[in-house]
Amino acid sequence: MAPASPLGISGFDIGAEFSSISIDKTSDHWNKAFQNDAPSYLVIPKIRARKGLPSGIDIGAMYSYVPNSNIRLYGAELSKSIMEGNMAAPALSVRATYTSLAGVDDLALQTYGFDASVSKGFLIVTPYAGAGMMWVNSKAKGTLQSLGEETIAIPRVFGGVKISPFPLLGITAEAEYAERPVYSLKTAISF
> What is the full per-residue pLDDT of the chain (191 aa) written as tens digits?
999 999 999 999 999 999 999 887 777 767 666 666 778 888 999 999 999 999 999 999 999 998 777 889 999 999 999 999 998 999 999 999 999 999 988 889 999 999 999 999 999 999 999 999 999 999 988 776 677 789 999 999 999 999 999 999 999 999 999 988 999 999 999 98
Q: What is the pLDDT of residue 33?
A: 67
Taking the alpha carbons of 164, 62, 18, 26 in that order, is the dihedral positive or negative?
positive
Residue-by-residue DSSP string for 100-131: EEES-TTEEEEEEEEEEEEE--BTTEEEEEEE
Q: How many Cα atoms are found within 13 Å in the side-chain-facing hemisphere of 31?
A: 6
Give which of 120, 118, 113, 150 is closest to 135, Cα–Cα. 113
Give the chain's domains with CATH numbers. Answer: 12-190 (2.40.160.20)
Q: What is the pLDDT of residue 145?
A: 67
